Amino acid sequence: MASTATSCSFRLISKHKEPRNNGASMHQYNSLKALREATFNPNGSLISTSAKCRAIKAILAPKRETDPKKRVVITGMGVVSVFGNDVDTFYENLLEGQSGITLIDKFDASTFTVRFAGQIRNFSSLGYIDLKNDRRLDDCWRFCLVAGKKALLHANLGQQILETMDRTRIGVLVGSGIGGMTTFSNGVEALIQKGFKKITPFFIPYSITNMGSALLAIDTGLMGPNYSISTACATANYCFYAAANHIRRGEADIMVVGGTEAAVNPTGVGGFIACRALSQRNDEPHKASRPWDRDRDGFVIGEGAGVLIMESLEHASKRGAKIIAEYLGGAITCDAHHMTDPRKDGLGVSSCIAKCLQDAGVSPEESMIGHGLGAAGGLEAIACIKAITTGWLHPTINQDNLEPQVDIDTVPNVKKRHEVNVAISNSFGFGGHNSVVAFTPFNP
Task: Report the catalytic residues.
Answer: 233
Dihedral of CA atoms 159, 219, 106, 288 in degrees, nearest 10, equals -70
DSSP string for residues in 343-357: PTT-HHHHHHHHHHH
104-140 burial, b at 16+ Cβ within 10 Å, e below that, comes to: bebeebeebebbbbbbbeebebeebbeeeeeeebbbb
What distances in angstroms separate CA 254 from CA 119, 180, 310, 444, one per listed residue? 31, 26, 6, 19
CA distance 15 to 30: 17
23-49 burial, b at 16+ Cβ within 10 Å, e below that, comes to: bbbbbbbbbbbbbbbbbbeeebebeeb
What distances in angstroms separate CA 53 from CA 38, 39, 364, one per listed residue? 7, 8, 11
CA distance 268 to 138: 14
- State whether residue 364 is helix, strand or coil: helix
Q: What share of the chain is helix, strand, coil (3-state, %, to 5)?
A: 35, 20, 45
Q: How deeply is 331 buried, as exposed, middle or buried, from its count of CB atoms within 10 A (0-12, 13-18, 19+)?
A: buried
Q: How far is CA 356 from the centre of its chain?
A: 15
CA distance 203 to 136: 10
CA distance 308 to 40: 32
Instruction: Name the H helices within 53-163.
Output: 54-57, 87-95, 131-136, 139-154, 159-162
β 170-175/254-261 pair status: parallel
